[in-house]
Amino acid sequence: MSNPEETKGTTTPHVVKEELMASGNWVKLEKTTYMDPAGNTRTWETVKRTTRQKNTEADGVGIIAVLKRTLHKDCMVMVKQFRPPLGCCTLEFPAGLIDEGETAEMTALRELKEETGYRGEVVGVTPVTCLDPGLSNCTTQIVLVNINGDDGENMHPTQELAGDLILLFSSTGDGEFVEVILLPLDEIQTKINDLLQKEKIMVDSKVYIFAMGMAQAFFKPRELPVLKQ
Ligand SMILES: Nc1nc(=O)[nH]c2c1ncn2[C@H]1C[C@H](O)[C@@H](COP(=O)(O)OP(=O)(O)O)O1
């Protein structure tokens, strides 16, 4: 009898075939046949977007946008919107799908302008990152953008219609679809927690992890060092 430990891990896992199970305008469902590390053939149910462009491995971008203004704390520019798959509103980074011919940086600046009205400057971009790999091949690049809030065009930001479907509104208007929320960077986790207490809203995991990281960055270094045993 063979020892399972001897055969385990000897195969490089790989996809064998992908079969379409169902398709819509925006997403499709596939049956993915793959070989696992033990050499067994298995299947997986995989969701894919139908909209990914040829020139990119990323479906879309998320935008970490920092609004910088004289005599104000730096603020994160966030968006709140109703998300049909969740049946509730979410707190997210501004985001959007990459259009044909666009780089991640171009998409980030376009989507930021459309969703929030702000004109930004790209200061960093991540590699292609996965979003929910147990369900989907969906990928994103996170783009870090600074916004000069002292610039005239950013003093009274005006959102713009994006493509054919998103209707945008000013954060004080009625009938809105995308609401802009500014949160101070140095208190972001507390402010998100306050928001979650106050209203029925789901926070995007990327946003909450960012907020936890900021809390660590802002507060831990100021704590008194403690002797470790
Ligand atoms: N899964 C989807 N189902 C839809 O019915 N429509 C969808 C899906 N994904 C995207 N879209 C539509 C809705 C918007 O008009 C655009 C995407 O907008 P974009 O701004 O690029 O991205 P998000 O802000 O992240 O929605 O496509």
Q: How confident is the model at residue 229 (pLDDT cuts 50, 70, 90)?
A: low
Contacts of 138 (CB under 8 A, 6+ apart): 47, 48, 49, 59, 130, 131, 132
Ligand 1 near 164 CB (within 6 A):
no
| CATH 1.50.10.100 for the 60-220 domain, yes or no | no
Q: Which of 63, 165, 204 to mutate to test the pocket of ligand 1 (most atoms within 8 A of CB)?
A: 165
Mean pLDDT of 108-130: 97
Higher pLDDT, 168 or 34: 34
Ligand 1 near 138 CB (within 6 A):
no
Q: Which of 110, 166, 178 to mutate to test the pocket of ligand 1 (most atoms within 8 A of CB)?
A: 166
Q: How confident is the model at residue 15 (pLDDT cuts 50, 70, 90)?
A: very high
Q: How confident is the model at residue 217 (pLDDT cuts 50, 70, 90)?
A: confident
C-alpha–C-alpha distance, residues 85 and 100, integer Å: 25
Model-level pTM? 0.88
Q: How confident is the model at residue 223 (pLDDT cuts 50, 70, 90)?
A: low
Ligand 1 near 165 CB (within 6 A):
yes
Please report the pLDDT score of residue 116 as a whole number.
97
Give whole-number Cα distances, 9 to 13, 34, 39, 133, 197, in Å: 9, 14, 8, 21, 46
Higher pLDDT, 109 or 170: 109
Mean pLDDT of 144-171: 74
C-alpha–C-alpha distance, residues 196 and 70, integer Å: 29
Please report the pLDDT score of residue 10 as a whole number.
85
**Domain-wise residue ranges, the chain:** 4-49, 60-220
- Which of 4-18, 49-63, 72-86 shows the lowest mean pLDDT across its residues? 4-18
CA-60 nearest atom, ligand 1? 21
